[in-house]
Each structure stands twice: as structure tokens, then as C-alpha cells.
Amino acid sequence: MMISKEVEKILPLVQKPGKYTGGELNSIVKDKNGVDLRYAFCFPDSYEIGMSHLGIKILYSAANERNDVWCERVFAPWHDMEKAMRENGIPLYALESGDPLTDFDLIGFTLQYELSYTNVLNMLDLAGIPVRAKDRPDLTPIIVGGGPCVCNPEPMADFFDIFSLGDGEEVSDELFDLIIACKKEGTTKKEFLKRAAQIKGIYVPSLYDISYNDDGTVKAITPKETAPVKVTKRVVANLDKVHYPEKFIVPFVEVVHDRVVHEILRGCIRGCRFCQAGFIYRPIREKSADTINTQCQKLCHSTGYDEISLSSLSTSDYTHLEELMEKLLEWTEKEKVNIALPSLRVDNFSDKLMGYLSRVRRSGLTFAPEAGTQRLRDAINKNVTEEEMLSTARKSFSGGWTAVKLYFMLGLPTETYDDVAGIAELAQKVVNEFYNNPDKPKGKGVQVSISVASFVPKPFTPFQWEAQDTIDELIKKQNHLLSSVKTKKISVSYHKVNISFLEGVMARGDRKLCDVIETAWKKGCKFDSWDDSFLFETWLESFEECGVDPLFYTSRKRDYEEILPWDHLDYGIRKQFLISESKKAYENETTPHCRIKCAGCGSNMINGGECDAMRQSMV
């Protein structure tokens, strides 16, 4: 890469300078004069996090397939690098060309979690770009946001020109074409936004007026000019036909997920009521075992990685998992490639799968019961029984595992202190299972780690109307859990509740939060998802200064009739379906998964009526 002399001078002063040099294997360098559109794909977090993200790999590679587009990567520089850049007047630059962001036509941010919002502002500012869309009158650079958080992008609405809803693979092409055309015609930004709003899946926030009731709730969302009343997310119809990279960029610096990652299915059949991803990525679409196998082999050969991770929301729900494992093991054993299967469920963990897993390198086993009692698991529709969990634990111990990690949530709707104590009891039963097992590994103890997250209600889930537990309540529940654990064989770790609180505000926030985010950023908030960087007091000050009460967003139970800030965005899930799921939760009533019976969520309608789960349930 062509980084400037100025950057070279500061590199010896910072930690891990390799994060800022570019030039990694398989990174793509083009002639900037030979392309019509320059696209900076920004991940608003550190290099190590961003380079682990699969979406950026897919979209980077897909964009660069085009001869008229050059897509480059940008990450948030860590505190030390930012300081050195600001002191030396170095603007934020892209890693492939070393050119400042102001040279780009399109700047895309992927919004993966709410706590990366301040980093977006900080990155724009570090590039010398005004953070508010209204202060950017020129056609370019156009700032676009994508990723799961744009299912309610309202807290960031003032900063972005456009948002891209749903799968990014296909809509990107249409967006590139439009920008190239507008550049050639020399149109105004206003004209571009008007035309962009006509692309399916593109949401132009400035073309919607939001009015509020006296109590602060949304009164009306009114589209202006020709903008659609509802913006519908984009869906890739067939995962076998959509672009998947044959090469991944291989970083020199060790990143969090330093391996080949393969997405084997998109969407989820389960419908756990707390899980946003389980709804917004519907309908379920599977990739064929042959496609996955070929693509994995190509990726291993082009990168030299010795590990493949088969990724999805629920990997054991992939219908051809055994066939796929057989195909993969044919060559991975010979080439000493390890296969990791994250996101396994306890209820369909077969002996055969266990056999495959013991043939690859052994790592820890992780399961997510999410709740401690059957009643609460039914209420959240986890659809896992205690017996299934214990039988899986038994299988794993017989298979030689001695460490099990269990994921739970605190603060779920309808949760009582008995449910909290139930977490410790369930963990204790897993410990007992180990000692009652005649096949247990000889001479070894067992370690059960409980990891507890705080539940945050999210848009497009049946719990989107719920009140979130207060910070005090969550701390009480954490303490109750700690006092319920009676043995050293069980270790407990949990998330910082302050961070979950802010996440809750942002997740269901509206445009009134834009001022708060800007204020907090100006006061120094950034990297909010990092415990060491999170400045909770500063956030509280910022809410106060802007006259916004954060509890309005977290602690208030909403009526089903209330207009929600994201009601003009359509993710395919019918509101009536979410309401009926919400009511069932209070009856502790479960909904069978999509292959047993279609629950009628409606998401297949945005995919031309197609849903892999429906097809499979008919066979």
C-alpha cells in the first residue's frame, strides 16, 4: 500500500502498527483512475474485530468483482493511533490506497451493534467529514449504513444519507449504478436521494417526517415526495447463486476470528422470542453441501488457514450437516484442517455428530439454554428440555469433554427469582451428570462455566414492547445467582449491566437520540462496547443535557397500538404474528419450529413466497 511519509512517522509510536499499514495477503489494489466509483467500507470498531466479520469479506469481494468499482477497508483506529493522527493532522485513510476518506464517492458503515454508534461519528470527524447529513450538501461522499442495527436506525438517522435494509449483496450493485449515473449527470444530492428511495431496500431518513405526541411517543411517520410509505428489506433468494469470496484477506496481526468462516445457512427456524437475529434474517435459506465444501477448500488453499468455522445462527439445524461433515473430513483430515461448529443446539446433537466432532481438534463445548427453568424456557420459546440438555451433557462427557460452557440471560420477561436460582440448579445437574457417568474421563474433574448476559428487548421480536429490567434489578438478580451457586466446579461470569442499559436505549430509540449520541461523542465517548473505554457517567450527563430521559426507552412497557419508531421499516415479519407470540409468552406456551409447522411469520412473502423450512417440512 502507499501510506504517506506522515503515517510512517507515527507508526513506530503505536501498538500493533500492522493494523494500519494495509498490504495484507489478498487485499485488492486497483488503479484509482481506472474506476468510476470509490467505495470505503468502514467497520466502526478496531481492526481485530472488523477483520473477523464475515459480512465485510463478502461485500468487499462482491464490490471488487466489478471493474468500475474499487472497494477498500477502513477501521476505527485505536486510542493511541487516533491521538497520533490528530496530533499530526493525518486524516482517516483507507487501508488499500492510503487515501483519505474525503476522496471516496461512497462511505459505508456496517452497524453490527448499538454501542459502535459513537465510533461512526468519530471516524467521520477524523476524516474531516461533517457528522450530520444536512451539513454535507455535495453529492459525494454519500454515507450509507447497513447491518442488523438498521432495522431501527432512527438514533443514527441524522448522520446517514441512506440506509440499506436486509441482505447487502444485490442492493449494493444497484446503488453503485445509481451513484455512477448521478456523478456522470452531475445531479444534486437531493435528486440522488429521491432516486435512491426508489430502490427496494434503500431507506432515505431525510425523506420522512417524524412527529411526536406530548408523552414523547411517535405520533406519525410521514413520507415526503415520492418516498415509499414502507421500506422493505432486501433478501437474497438463493445462497448457492449469490457471490461468495474465493479469497479472504489474511491479516498479519492476529484478529479475533482468524480462520476460514463459512455461512452455511441464513435465517433461523427456531423463533426464540428474545432473539432479533432469529427474526430479521428470515426466511431461512440453506446453502448446498457441495457449494460449501468446494468454497471451503478454495478458501483454505488461498489463505493457508488451518481452521474452518461453519457459521450460522443454529448450525445443527442445517439439514445436510452430516453429509457436509463427511465431504469436508475427506480432505481436511489429510490437510490438517480443523473444523469448528459453533452454535450447536442441545436437542439435535446426534451421536454421529459427536463422532465427527471428536475426529477434529477438540475445543470446548458451548450450549445456550438461555433460561434456568422449563417454564421460562417455554416462555421465551427456547424449545429445549432439561432432559435433552442433560443427555447432551452425558454424551459430551462420554466423548471425553470435561469443560462445558452454558449461556444464560438475566432479565427476561416474566422472570422470577426462582428462574434465576434455576440457572445454578441446572448447572449443578450438569455437574452431577458428570460424576454419575461411568464413561467419564478418568482422573479429571469437570468445569461448568456459566456466562450470563443481560436481556435487551429488540425491535422485530415478540418482546419489542417489553420493559427492560433496571440496572438495580439486574444487579440484584446477578447477586441472587451468585449466592445460589454452591460449588467451585461452577464459575459465573456476566456482562456489565450499564452497557446493556445503553444498548437498550439505542435499540428501541428514536431520532431524539441523535443529539444525545453527538453530545456524548463530543464529550469523548467512543469504543463504548469496550469495558475500559465505556464512560457511563458521561453518557448520563449527555442525556441530561439534551433533556432526554433514557428510562423512557428502556423501562416503559409499550402498548401493542403504539406507533414504534421503526414501524415504517418492513422486515417481512407481520406485526400481528409478533403480537400473538408476545401473548403466548405470558401463557408459557411454545411455538413449534418452522419445519414442524409454519407459524406464519410472513417473511417468505418478501422472498416470492419461498422459504426453505416450508419446502423441507413438506417432504
Partner 1 sequence: MRCVRVWFKKMGMSRYVSHLDLMRAMTRAVRRAEIPLWYTEGFNPHPYITFALPLSLGMESLYESMDMRIEGESTNEDIFNMLKGSMPPGIEIVSVENPFNDPKEITYGEFDIFFDCERKTDSVLALIEEMLSADELIVQKLGKKGRHKVMKDINLIDFIKSYRVGSLENRVKLTVILPAGSTTNVNPSLLADEIQKRAEEKLSYTIVRKKLLLENMELFR
**18 near partner 1, rule: CB under 8 A:** yes
Of 185 and 335, CB closest to partner 1: 335
Show the binding pattern over residues 271-300: x = contacts partner 1 (CB under 8 A), - = does not.
------------------------------
Q: Counting every residue, how long is the chain?
A: 619
Please spell the DSSP secondary structure of 265-290, one letter per residue.
EES-S---TT-SHHHHTPSPEE--HH
**Which residue's entry shows cell 429488540?**
458
CB atoms within 10 A of CB 582: 18
**97 near partner 1, rule: CB under 8 A:** no
**Which residue's entry shows cell 460449501?**
292
Residues 336, 351, 472, 619: which binds partner 1 (CB under 8 A)? 336
From the list 188-196, 249-257, 281-289, 373-381, the region that binds partner 1 by CB under 8 A is 249-257
Nearest approach, Cβ of residue 425 and partner 1 (Å) = 35
Residues 102, 302, 451, 590: which binds partner 1 (CB under 8 A)? 302
Residues 305, 356, 465, 566: which binds partner 1 (CB under 8 A)? 305
Q: Three-class SS of residue 410?
A: strand
- What's the rounded Cα separation, in Å, for the pair 83 and 210? 38
**16 near partner 1, rule: CB under 8 A:** yes
Residues 112, 140, 303, 603: which binds partner 1 (CB under 8 A)? 303
C-beta separation of 117 from 46 below 8 A: no
Show the binding pattern over residues 176-205: x = contacts partner 1 (CB under 8 A), - = does not.
------------------------------
**252 near partner 1, rule: CB under 8 A:** yes
- What's the rounded Cα separation, in Å, for the pair 324 and 353? 11
**320 near partner 1, rule: CB under 8 A:** no
Of 1 and 354, CB closest to partner 1: 1
Of 21 and 580, CB closest to partner 1: 21
Q: Hey, CA dihedral for 81, 83, 88, 92, is it positive or negative?
A: positive
**245 near partner 1, rule: CB under 8 A:** no
Half-sphere exposure of 248 (CA within 13 A, CB side): 27
- Per-residue burial over 131-155, b = 16 or more CB atoms within 10 Å of its CB, e = otherwise: bebeebeebbbbbbbbbbbbbbbbb
Residues 350-389 binding partner 1 (CB under 8 A) are 361
Of 305 and 463, CB closest to partner 1: 305
CA dist list (Å): 448 to 339, 384, 429: 23, 19, 10
Q: Three-class SS of residue 48?
A: helix
- What's the rounded Cα separation, in Å, for the pair 375 and 315? 25
- The site for partner 1, by CB under 8 A, has a size of 27
C-beta separation of 220 from 563 below 8 A: yes
**246 near partner 1, rule: CB under 8 A:** no
Of 217 and 363, CB closest to partner 1: 363
Nearest approach, Cβ of residue 20 and partner 1 (Å) = 8
Nearest approach, Cβ of residue 301 and partner 1 (Å) = 7
Question: What nine digits make up the cell of 306?
Answer: 488451518
Of 253 and 475, CB closest to partner 1: 253
**304 near partner 1, rule: CB under 8 A:** yes
Return residues touching partner 1 (CB under 8 A).
1, 3, 9, 11-12, 16-18, 21-25, 250, 252-254, 258, 301-306, 335-336, 361
